[in-house]
Chains A and B, each alone.
With several copies, the nearest count.
Chain A
Amino acid sequence: MLFQNVQFTLDRGEILQVVGHNGCGKTTLLRSLAGLSNYASGQILWDGKPPRENLELFRRDVLFHGHLAAVKLLLTPVENLRWFASTYCAATDQDIVNALHAVGLFGYEDIPASKLSAGQLRRVALARLVLSNATLWILDEPFTAIDVHGIDTLQQLLQDHLNKGGAVLLTSHQQVDIAQIKSLNLEHYR
């Protein structure tokens, strides 16, 4: 039993940072919410209804960004995002290039991802946030391997998303510089 009685609501325009020491169950919680793990007991409501009632809608509205970057090393960043762009949303190649520029990958659009550094790979994954039109972003340690400048960009991205009426649920061991951020300490729910 990692945690119990955790309960929270997230509204549009809200951002919640799940914190807690290593191994307190943040990743487990986020994966359960996204629908990747089966939680032992509990209830998730999306728009007041359990997700499985309209799974497609739920999936379209929620974007999960996990520990792993989900970037294919054999494809270029543009090729990588193309699949995402035609299943999760409906973005054009131009949108993809713009998204890559937005996360600071100017000039890396068409080289194989195997030649990117750790941080550049994570940035390709973050470009999905720019493309996506999901309402809720679930981000597991999005700042990993990102440099100082990149962190600013990402925070700006989060802020914009909130302003547009989106919601964010994230974990991070770093301080997040966003005014309205709330935090949930999992250590209190053992």
Chain B
Amino acid sequence: MWTWFHKLGSPKWFYDISGKLLNFMAPVAALLLIVGAIWGLLYAPADFRQGNSYRIIYIHVPVSVLSLSGYYIMAIAGAIHLIWKMKLAEIAMRSAARMGAGLTFLALVTGSIWGKPTWGTWWVWDARITSELVLLFLYLGIIALYEAYDNKVSASRACAVLALVGTVNIPIIYKSVDWWYSLHQPATIKLTQKSSIDPSMFYPLLIMIVGFYFFYGVALMLNMRTEVLINERKTRWVQDIVERA
């Protein structure tokens, strides 16, 4: 059990195994995304109220969903890094932080773009939107903290602590924002009911969500592999790879 765990921490082992995994995951991600996109953008019926503008959900929803899961991936990596001092976990945490911030930002931007035709305004203080904004701040806080430290060993440990504090807080934040919104819900704007979505719109969405998960995994691994190569550039096995290339 522990030997397995420590092997996981070895950069070379990770590089080999992630190479094999990528060979499988990258095509799957590409396939799912292409199928989902074509189905959703070209073949799914137009919404009877929003026309074609709703099609942005095929990006907006997967990105929004991933941005939250991404935080937990980051926090778990951070915890592993703190407890077992595993270098790989640290790299994973940092990659996840950067990608998470990007995804959250994308969710906000796509949401706003959608909001303009739907609500007639770029922004409203809806519960989900507000939570997403707070999530963006949490990500940015972690990135800013990392950048602020000169000593990068301490930097990643500090970020791990902050990520863990965030993990305890995120459910609380989500719950309280929900509660707040249900109290203050402005009369002018309502999000559509969840259940109203038609299966012919839903299946491509599902495919896109799964596709985005795969894409996330692929991007995370690519990110980590680059970092591993940079960190280990002086070791034999990396120089072997460089020579072969």
Contact present between A and B (CB < 8 A) = yes
Listed in ascending order, the chain A residues whose CB lies under 8 Å from chain B are 38, 112, 114-115
Q: Are the CB atoms of A112 and B153 closer together than 8 Å?
A: no
Q: How many of B's residues come within 8 Å of A, CB to CB?
A: 2
Cβ of B150 < 8 Å from any Cβ of A?
yes
| Min distance, Cβ A124 to any Cβ of chain B, angstroms | 17
Complexed CA–CA distance, A38 and B82 (Å): 13
In the A-B complex, the 4 residue pairs with the closest CB atoms: A114-B150, A112-B150, A38-B153, A115-B150
Chain A residue nearest to B85 in the complex (CB)? A38
Closest chain-B Cβ to A72's Cβ sits at a distance in Å of: 13
Q: Taking beta carbons and an 8 Å cutoff, which residues of B are in contact with A?
A: 150, 153
Complex interface: chain A residues within 8 A of B153 (CB): 38
User: In the complex, how many residue pairs between chain A and chain B have their CB atoms under 8 Å apart?
Assistant: 4
CA distance A115 to B152 in the complex (A): 13
CB distance from B148 to the nearest CB of A (A): 11
Least CB separation from B150: chain A residue = A114
Contacts of A115 in B (CB 8 A): 150
Chain B residues lying within 8 Å of A112, measured Cβ to Cβ, are 150
Smallest beta-carbon distance A89→chain B, Å: 30
A114 to B153, CA, bound (A): 15
Residues of A within 8 A of B150 (CB): 112, 114-115
User: How far, in whole Å, are A126 and B110 apart by their CA atoms in the complex?
Assistant: 57
What distance in Å separates the Cβ of A70 from its nearest Cβ neighbour in chain B? 19
Whole-angstrom distance from the CB of B6 to the nearest CB of chain A? 16
- In the complex, how many angstroms separate the beta carbon of B7 from the nearest chain A beta carbon? 19
Q: Which residue in chain B gives the minimum CB-CB distance to A115?
A: B150
Which residue of chain B has its CB nearest to the CB of A112? Answer: B150
Q: CB-nearest residue of chain B relative to A38?
A: B153
Q: Which residues of B contact A114 (CB under 8 A)?
A: 150
Smallest distance from the beta carbon of A101 to chain B beta carbons, Å?
Answer: 25
Tell me the smallest distance from the CB of A100 to a CB of chain B, in Å: 21
Min Cβ gap B74→A in Å is 22
A114's closest neighbor in chain B, by CB?
B150
Docked Cα-Cα span, A42 to B150, in Å, equals 24
Measured CA separation A22–B153 after assembly (Å): 24
Per the bound structure, the CA–CA distance linking A114 and B148 in Å amounts to: 13
Tell me, in angstroms, the Cα distance from A114 to B150 when the chains sit together: 8
Which residue from chain A places its CB closest to the CB of B153 in the assembled complex? A38
Q: List 4 A-B contacts (CB under 8 A).
A: A38-B153, A112-B150, A114-B150, A115-B150
Closest to B157 in A: A38
- State in angstroms the CA–CA spacing of A115 and B150 once bound together: 9
Q: In whole angstroms, how far apart are the Cα atoms of A112 and B153 in the complex? A: 17
Assembled-state Cα–Cα distance A68/B207 (Å): 60
A39 to chain B, nearest CB (A): 11
A38 contacts across to B, CB distance below 8 A: 153
B58 CB, min distance to chain A CBs, angstroms: 46
Min CB distance A99 to B, Å, is 25
**Separation of A165 and B153 alpha carbons in the complex (Å):** 38
Bound Cα distance from A38 to B153, whole angstroms: 10
Which residue on B lies nearest to A74, using beta carbons? Answer: B150
Measured in the bound complex, the distance between the Cα atoms of B151 and A115 in whole Å is 9
Interchain CA distance A112-B149 in the complex, whole Å: 13
A77 to chain B, nearest CB (A): 16
Q: How far is the CA of A156 from the CA of B88 in the complex (A)?
A: 51
Distance in angstroms from B161 CB to nearest chain A CB is: 15
Shortest B189–chain A CB gap in Å is 47
When C-beta atoms are compared, the residue in chain B nearest to A73 turns out to be: B150
Cα distance, A190 to B150, chains bound together (Å): 24
